[in-house]
Homo-oligomer: A and B are copies of this chain.
Amino acid sequence: MAESAPTLLVVSAHAGDFVWRAAGAIAAATLRGERAVVVCLSYGERGESASQWLAGKSLDEIKAIRRAEAEAAASALGAEIEFLDGGDYPLVETPELLNKLVHVYRRVQPTVVLTHPLIDPYNGDHPAAARLAIEARILAQAIGYEAPGEVLGAPPVFFFEPHQPEQCDFKPNVLLDITAAFELKQKAMQCLPAQKHMWEYYTDLAVRRGVQVKRNAGPNLGLPVDTKGEAYMRYYPQVTDVLE
């Protein structure tokens, strides 16, 4: 069995989550010429679209708006995107939604998976998405699970950063240098005009994580002053043949 080509799968609870929290990793992958696929389990139509509700939009209109924004952001990052429309607030972990996600895994054959952390006291959909992403990955590995495509390998899973990391027991063990990818992340953020205040917020966060990249890499490594970073939490042990 041949090793798969590097392919990134991002499982996002709502339409916008992957932009703020993982756009750097996505752009870094596509800049290396790798495939990246984003799956939005819902549009975030009820829980993360306050301004549209205030503007009196209907549910269908809101879903369309969020979808268009997310497609534009994915496009800016060079990533594919699909929507499972599982509903949000709450995102219910139905057998059907789980099964759809297993099919995605079998079809896409990701070599790396990104999703939300398993704990979030402010948002029940985020941990639900994480549980779905992890459970579907395990099911896709089983030859006895009926779904088209090859049985999945064991792609590593990384949790991206939540809004209040300390309250989510988010202790990053991977700091990703996204300096080269940051311009694309900015473009992707600008595809979400309703949350303009977030642009600056997540730029500041990239600076702060960049400071930590430099600190943990060591001051002698000559990283640029404007190094940008994203923080991740590896869920399974890293397998390697070099400690570094």
B-contact bits for A220-231, CB 8 A (1 contact / 0 none): 111000000001
A76 at the interface (CB under 8 A from B): no
For residues 169 through 204 of chain A, which have their beta carbon under 8 Å from a beta carbon of chain B?
Answer: 169-178, 180, 201, 204
Copies in the assembly, this chain:
6
A64 at the interface (CB under 8 A from B): no
In contact, B143 and A123 (Cβ under 8 angstroms): no
A163 partner residues in chain B, CB cutoff 8 A:
215
In contact, A143 and B238 (Cβ under 8 angstroms): no
B-contact bits for A143-163, CB 8 A (1 contact / 0 none): 111000000011110100001
B-contact bits for A98-114, CB 8 A (1 contact / 0 none): 10000000000001101
Surface stretch bound by B, among A49-57, A67-75, A77-85: A49-57
A144's partner among B53, B121, B216 (CB-CB below 8 A) is B53
CA gap between A53 and B216 in the complex, in Å = 22
A50 partner residues in chain B, CB cutoff 8 A:
142-144
Task: Report the count of interface residues on A (CB-CB < 8 A).
Answer: 88
CA gap between A238 and B218 in the complex, in Å = 12
A216's partner among B89, B218, B236 (CB-CB below 8 A) is B236
CB contact under 8 A between A208 and B219, given known A89-B142, A243-B112: no
A218's partner among B154, B166, B205 (CB-CB below 8 A) is B154
CA gap between A173 and B236 in the complex, in Å = 7
User: 20 additional contacts, CB 8 Å, given A154-B216, A204-B204?
Assistant: A28-B243, A29-B243, A32-B242, A45-B144, A47-B139, A47-B144, A92-B95, A112-B243, A114-B243, A153-B218, A154-B217, A154-B218, A155-B218, A166-B171, A167-B237, A176-B243, A177-B241, A180-B241, A204-B208, A213-B239
